[in-house]
Chains A and B, each alone.
Chain A
């Protein structure tokens, strides 16, 4: 089982430690909304839920997945485990 990623909220912005790539990831507002919506929804359901176009949601999911912040299983997106600092 993977260790949870460290995350913090500073001045209302979510910032996460991407340990695997040894970098800090600062989410923009859209990425954060998409990330928070990754509760077992599909890409299309997330876009509908947020009232966003498909393309930016797809792009945000790609970036979030590259940082290890979300995972996809059977086309459904789930947040990685996060420990809040």
Chain B
């Protein structure tokens, strides 16, 4: 990063009323790609307080909401975009009051939403990529947003962060736009995206240690798995609402577990098995 600070403001898309704003302060070579990535998110809740992000020439960044420091991070020399995007997204989901979230990949198949949950390295991004190749529409490879009352899953169309090994696992993607790149990570925005909420069909728990077909997972076990992911359960002031709302979501949703050690095969099995 070189000196020459500038201030840029990202005004995110608004799906319903209100808007979430992110104000970026820092070197243009950092704020520009960050702005490009964050601009593709649509937060469907109004009246969320703005996030102010300050990035120093020395590579330290911090975020403030309502005048309070909510995070500080020392950026690595390589792959510095990833933590910035992660903290901005983490702030966004921490501010939600009506919607639920879980760290997950999500796609639309035949007009219905499929949410892929799993531990880090479970192959969520690879599975999303392979499903896109097979004709699915993109919702997210990072965050699934649920409207529990309506039984819908909203797009959270952050560009896919594709690492070299993920690219190899996915194979050639359908048309995408290169939004930004950082070292060997490419941020790719799929062309075929859902532009509004869709009915949630299934939650799928990925198990990277196996290559098994989808089998039904008791929904109580899925709720337990969701509580162990980065999700609305992370915030103490929202614990009870998260519990009630995830129960509500699960009562109207199919729940599966499947192996994901081979994402291409897993995507094929998922389509065939659902």
Main secondary structure of the interface of B (DSSP, over half): helix
CB distance from A59 to the nearest CB of B (A): 20
CA distance A85 to B223 in the complex (A): 13
Binds B, one of A16-24, A38-46, A73-81: A16-24
Which of B221, B236, B239, B247 is close to A8, meaning CB atoms less than 8 Å apart? Answer: B247
The answer to whether A26 and B220 touch across the interface, beta carbons within 8 angstroms, is yes
Q: Does B195 contact A (CB under 8 A)?
A: no
Name the residue on B nearest A8 (C-beta).
B247
The answer to whether B244 and A22 touch across the interface, beta carbons within 8 angstroms, is no
CB distance from B180 to the nearest CB of A (A): 35
- Give residues of chain A (1-56) contacting chain B, Cβ–Cβ below 8 Å: 6, 8-15, 17, 19, 22-24, 26
Q: Does B42 contact A (CB under 8 A)?
A: no
Q: Does B243 contact A (CB under 8 A)?
A: yes
The answer to whether B218 and A10 touch across the interface, beta carbons within 8 angstroms, is yes
Report the interface size class on chain B.
10 to 19
CA distance A28 to B94 in the complex (A): 32
Q: Does B163 contact A (CB under 8 A)?
A: no
The answer to whether A26 and B247 touch across the interface, beta carbons within 8 angstroms, is no
Q: For residue A11, which residues in chain B have a CB less than 8 angstroms away from its CB?
A: 218-220
Q: For residue B220, which residues in chain A have a CB less than 8 angstroms away from its CB?
A: 8-11, 13-15, 26
Mask of B235-248 contacts with A, CB within 8 angstroms, 1/0: 01001100110011
CB distance from B253 to the nearest CB of A (A): 11
The answer to whether B227 and A24 touch across the interface, beta carbons within 8 angstroms, is yes
A binding-site residues for B, Cβ under 8 Å: 6, 8-15, 17, 19, 22-24, 26, 85
